[in-house]
Amino acid sequence: MSSHAKIRLEHQQRCIGCYNCVFACSIEIFSQVSATRTAVSLKPCSLGDRFVVSICTGCDPAPCVAACKPEALRQDKDGKLELLKPSECERCETSDCAEACMTNAMLIDPKTNRPILCTQCGKCAEACPHEVITYKEGKR
């Protein structure tokens, strides 16, 4: 079990739907504001319902890694996802990795058609005003 800090959903019910986590992620990974190219998503069916934040929790073992047939994807000991063989990933025409994610947290970048990988950087947690997402060390 890793002792490296990981993001986790701590107080889901406190979400006010402000999107700071979503955009902090798109800025970090792609240097642009986007609700589409991001590893963090916010899912409201109706705004009258509770907000559902979706993040990669760095699960161990990770079903996305296991589902990757060309073995292009790996997870390091800290939960961070990495693309070992980008060319293999590029050739892949399925999205087994994203489909394997139990919480539908893994998203496919519509520009590149490749998975958007969470690096457990914690920027989403830092941006959250209500500790919906936290970034902590230790056992989950």
Partner 1 sequence: MNHLCNVLYVDLKEQRHEIVEVPELFEKFLGGSGLAIELLLNECPSGAGALAPENPVVLAPGPLGGLFPSAGKTVAAFKSPVTGNLGESHAGGRLAVSLRLAGYGALVIKGAGSSPTLLEIDSGGVSFRSALPLKGFSSLEVERGLRACVSCTRMQSIISIGLAGENQVAYAGVNVDRYNYFGRLGLGAVFGAKNLKAISIVGSGSIEVPDIELYKKTFKKLYSEEVETDKMAKYHYTGTPANVLVLNEIGALPTKNFQMGRFEHAEAISGETLGNDWLDRKVSCPLCPVGCMHVARLRPAFAKGFEYEPVDVYHNYESVYALGNNLLVKSAEEVLRLNHQANVFGLDTMLLGNVLAWATEAYEKDIINQTHTGGIMLRWGDTDAYLAMTENIALRSNSFYDKLAQGLDQTAEAYGGTEFAMTFGGNGPAGYHTGYASVLGTVVGARHSHNDNAGYDIDRGMLHRKLDVDRVLKELKKENEWRYLLTSLAVCLFARRVYNERRVVEALKAVGIERSVKELETLGANVYKRAFEFKFREGFDFGRVRIPRRTFESVTANGRLDETVFRGMLERYVKTEFGANLRK
Binding site for partner 1 (CB under 8 A): 16-20, 23, 26-27, 30-38, 41-48, 54, 107, 110, 127, 129
- What DSSP string runs through 57-104? ---SS-HHHHH-TT--EEE-TTS-EEES-HHHHHH--S-HHHHH-TTS
Type of residue numbered 18: C
- By beta-carbon proximity to partner 1, the closer residue of 2 and 20 is 20
Helix (H, G, I), strand (E, B) or coil at 22: helix
Instruction: Provide, rounded to whole angstroms, the least separation between the CB of residue 126 and partner 1.
Output: 10
- By beta-carbon proximity to partner 1, the closer residue of 37 and 74 is 37
- By beta-carbon proximity to partner 1, the closer residue of 46 and 137 is 46
Instruction: Provide, rounded to whole angstroms, the least separation between the CB of residue 123 and partner 1.
Output: 10
From 18, 35, 21, select the one nearest 125 (Cα to Cα): 21
DSSP state of 112: T
39, two tokens: 């590893």
- By beta-carbon proximity to partner 1, the closer residue of 87 and 103 is 103
Instruction: Provide, rounded to whole angstroms, the least separation between the CB of residue 5 and partner 1.
Output: 20
DSSP state of 130: T
Instruction: Provide, rounded to whole angstroms, the least separation between the CB of residue 114 and partner 1.
Output: 14
